Amino acid sequence: MCASCSSFDLPAPPNATTDATDEGSSTAGSETEGDLDRATVTHAFGLATLGPFEEIEPCVSWTLDNEQALYVQAVTLANESGFHHSNWFVVPESVYEGPDGYWNCDDRGFEEIASAAAGTVLFAQSTQSWLETQRLGEGAVIKIPARSRIVAGVHLLNLAPRDVQTDLWLTLEIVHPKLVDTVVTPMRLSYLDLEIAAMGETRHDANCEMASYYEASTALPWDLKIHYVLPHFHSLGNYFDLRVIGGERDGESLYRLEGFNAGANGRTYDPPIDMSDAAGLGFTCGYDNFRSETVGWGVGDQEMCVGLLLVESAIMLENTVLAGSFVGTDEDGIKHQQGSCVTIGVPKSGEQGPPTEAEKAAPLYVPPVDPNDADLPPVPQCRDVDVDEPPLVEPTLDALRSQLFAPACSFSACHGTAAAAGLDLMAEDLHTELLGHDVQASTALPLVAPGDPDGSWLVRVLSQCSPTDDAGNLRSHMPLNAPVLLDDGLVNAVRAWIAAGAPGG
User: Residues 237, 240, 246, CA angle at the centre, nearest 5°?
Assistant: 150
- With H, G, I as helix, E, B as strand and everything else as coil, classify residue 484: coil
- Residue-wise pLDDT tens digits, 337-392: 999 999 999 999 989 999 999 999 999 999 988 665 677 888 888 999 999 999 99
Q: Write down the pTM of the prediction.
A: 0.87
Whether the pLDDT of residue 332 is over 60: the answer is yes
Q: Are residues 5 and 51 in the same domain?
A: yes
pLDDT score at 411 = 62
pLDDT score at 14 = 34
Q: Residue 276 CA to chain centroid, in angstroms? A: 29
More confident of the two residues 96 and 436: 96
Specify if 389 maps to a domain: no
Question: Mean pLDDT, to the nearest integer, of 438-445?
Answer: 88
| b/e map 225-259, b = 16+ CB within 10 Å | bbbbbbbbbbbbbbbbbbbbbbeeeeeeebbebee
Specify if 412 maps to a domain: yes
Whether the pLDDT of residue 422 is over 90: the answer is no
More confident of the two residues 446 and 419: 446
Whether the pLDDT of residue 24 is over 50: the answer is no
Lowest-confidence segment of 24-33, 187-196, 319-328, 340-349 by average pLDDT = 24-33
Q: Are residues 187 and 258 in the same domain?
A: yes
Q: Are residues 256 and 359 in the same domain?
A: no
Specify if 480 maps to a domain: yes
Q: CA-CA distance, 126 to 344, in Å (whole number)? A: 25
- Residue-wise pLDDT tens digits, 464-484: 999 999 989 988 888 887 888
Q: Are residues 424 and 275 in the same domain?
A: no
Question: Mean pLDDT, to the nearest integer, of 419-436?
Answer: 79
Q: Are residues 330 and 365 in the same domain?
A: no
Whether the pLDDT of residue 279 is over 90: the answer is yes
pLDDT score at 417 = 61
pLDDT score at 15 = 36
Q: CA-CA distance, 483 to 145, in Å (whole number)? A: 30
Specify if 120 maps to a domain: yes
Q: Which residues pair with 38 in a beta bridge?
A: 21, 175
DSSP 8-state assignment for residue 371 = G
- Of 314, 349, 384, the residue that ends a domain is 349
- Residue-number span of the structural domain to which 77 is assigned: 1-180+354-369
pLDDT score at 118 = 93
Specify if 505 maps to a domain: no
- Residue-wise pLDDT tens digits, 32-82: 344 589 999 999 898 889 999 998 999 999 999 999 999 999 999 999 888
Q: CA-CA distance, 265 to 230, in Å (whole number)? A: 6
Q: Are residues 145 and 278 in the same domain?
A: no
Find, among 308, 286, 327, the residue nearest to 120 by Cα. Answer: 308
Q: Are residues 16 and 54 in the same domain?
A: yes
Residues 6+ apart with CB under 8 A from 237: 127, 260, 285, 286, 287, 303, 305
Lowest-confidence segment of 50-64, 109-123, 361-375, 415-429 by average pLDDT = 415-429
What is the domain-level CATH number for residue 106? 2.60.120
Residues 6+ apart with CB under 8 A from 204: 191, 193, 194, 284, 285, 286, 305, 321, 324, 336, 337, 338, 339
- Of 349, 380, 411, the residue that ends a domain is 349
| b/e map 93-104, b = 16+ CB within 10 Å | bebbeeebbbbb
pLDDT score at 372 = 57
Q: Are residues 300 and 415 in the same domain?
A: no
What is the domain-level CATH number for residue 198? 2.60.120.230
Specify if 50 maps to a domain: yes
**What ranges make up the beta strands (E) of 224-279?**
225-232, 237-245, 253-258, 267-274
pLDDT confidence bin for 3, thresholds 50/70/90: very low
Q: CA-CA distance, 436 to 419, in Å (whole number)? A: 14
- Of 349, 384, 415, the residue that ends a domain is 349
- With H, G, I as helix, E, B as strand and everything else as coil, classify residue 363: coil
pLDDT score at 7 = 28
Specify if 3 maps to a domain: yes
pLDDT score at 87 = 94
Q: Are residues 278 and 333 in the same domain?
A: yes
Q: Are residues 358 and 344 in the same domain?
A: no
**Beta pairing, strands 70-79 & 168-175:** antiparallel
Structurally, how many domains does the chain consist of? 3
Q: Are residues 149 and 209 in the same domain?
A: no
pLDDT confidence bin for 6, thresholds 50/70/90: very low
Specify if 385 maps to a domain: no
Q: Residue 14 CA to chain centroid, in angstroms? A: 21
pLDDT score at 373 = 65
* Single-letter amino acid, residue 218: T
pLDDT score at 250 = 96
pLDDT score at 17 = 39
Q: Cα-atom radius of gyration of the chain, to the nearest Å?
A: 24
Q: Are residues 335 and 438 in the same domain?
A: no
Rounded to the nearest integer, the mean pLDDT of the chain is 87
